[in-house]
Amino acid sequence: MSEPVYGKLAVIGCGLIGASVILAARAAGAVSQVAVADASPEARARIEALGFADLVTADPAEAVRDADLVIFAVPVMAMGEAARAAAPGLKPGATVSDVGSVKAAVAEALAAALPETCFIIPGHPIAGTEQSGPDAGFAELFQHRWVILTPQSRTDAPYQAAVERLTDFWTALGSNVELMDDKHHDLVLAVTSHLPHLIAYTIVGAAADLEGVTRGEVMKYSAGGFRDFTRIAASDPTMWRDVFLSNKDAVLEILGRFTEDLQAMSRAIRWGEGDKLFDQFSRTREIRRGIIAAGQESAAPNFGRDQRSSPDPAEAPDTKAK
């Protein structure tokens, strides 16, 4: 990249996603300077040791001083508090975004906390792992992944220019960018991300609680399907508690639909309706093939895990002190 897209980047909350944004932006030459604020002393010590920020502080207002782009990468329900703490340091004309997994609630929290002199453009990279903390971050996380931006309804030219610049930033990091209404984002993600996590948390919890099956047996005989659920169910408890509480309406609506469909599957099994089961399983197999064709998943068996000669950085042990 010839010219950085922004001069100074400030990241507030530097765990898996915040660290990955910085590493990807550095690798792409998309920014020339980086400041970080994080509430966790352990995370700050790790960020200092990893050496990818020019300034590491506990004070968001100090980190955002003179920043051209500020990205909030804290758990969804901490966004408002972090934005209020950063507000006194923000320079007029700065672009402020976030990476939160829920958009309508975060957009409201940022707008309430920040001055009107900045450009607020909420965002969500559809990329992540079940790891947390700065050590889990890696520069390639956003390559070929979608980033959804949910701009405000402002139509003035300076705001539109800020949206274009933020789009250039994410494109430089290897992402595909889509603009979307925030409530629509929350409904789509309730289907594609939030409900699958709820199911994984529930199924792994239910298996662990089953009478007549010991915990040892669950671990020893865990088949591929169950193991894949345990990976998702190992995701950060704080992050996911916040997602469900902040996207309550959309999640409950999709959960209602899912419960009806599950009842239909249960009926088909009870009444021996093999055709119904076969049709459903054929339809879902096509959906997976579509995801692979869209380049969002590996076609290799077992998600390509058996082919890897070296450990995937995304599966490095979670070193974050909680």
List interacting residues with ligand NAP (CB under 6 A).
Answer: 12-13, 15-18, 37-40, 43, 60, 73-76, 78, 81-82, 99-101, 125, 128-129, 132-133, 236, 239, 243
Which residue number, 16 or 31, has a Cβ lying nearer to ligand NAP?
16
Which residue number, 76 or 166, has a Cβ lying nearer to ligand NAP?
76
Q: Which residues contact 297 (CB under 8 A, 6 or more apart)?
A: 288, 291, 303
Structure tokens at 302: 């077992």
State the nearest-atom distance from the C-beta of 12 to ligand NAP, in Å.
Answer: 5
State the nearest-atom distance from the C-beta of 321 to ligand NAP, in Å.
Answer: 8
Q: What are phi and psi of 80, to 5 degrees?
A: -60, -45
Which residue number, 77 or 204, has a Cβ lying nearer to ligand NAP?
77
Crossing angle of helices 237-246 and 248-270, rounded to 10°: 100
State the nearest-atom distance from the C-beta of 58 to ligand NAP, in Å.
Answer: 8
| Residue pair 136/320 in contact by the 8 Å Cβ criterion | yes
Which residue number, 38 or 68, has a Cβ lying nearer to ligand NAP?
38
Tell me the three state secondary structure of residue 14: coil
State the nearest-atom distance from the C-beta of 20 to ligand NAP, in Å.
Answer: 8
Give the number of other Cβ atoms within 10 Å of residue 70's Cβ.
30
State the nearest-atom distance from the C-beta of 260 to ligand NAP, in Å.
Answer: 28
Q: Which residues contact 252 (CB under 8 A, 6 or more apart)?
A: none
Nearest to 247 by CA among 195, 177, 199: 195
| Residue pair 63/89 in contact by the 8 Å Cβ criterion | yes
Which residue number, 56 or 207, has a Cβ lying nearer to ligand NAP?
56
Which residue number, 146 or 159, has a Cβ lying nearer to ligand NAP?
146
State the nearest-atom distance from the C-beta of 60 to ligand NAP, in Å.
Answer: 6
Q: Which residues contact 228 (CB under 8 A, 6 or more apart)?
A: 303
CA separation for the pair 283, 62 (Å, rounded)? 53
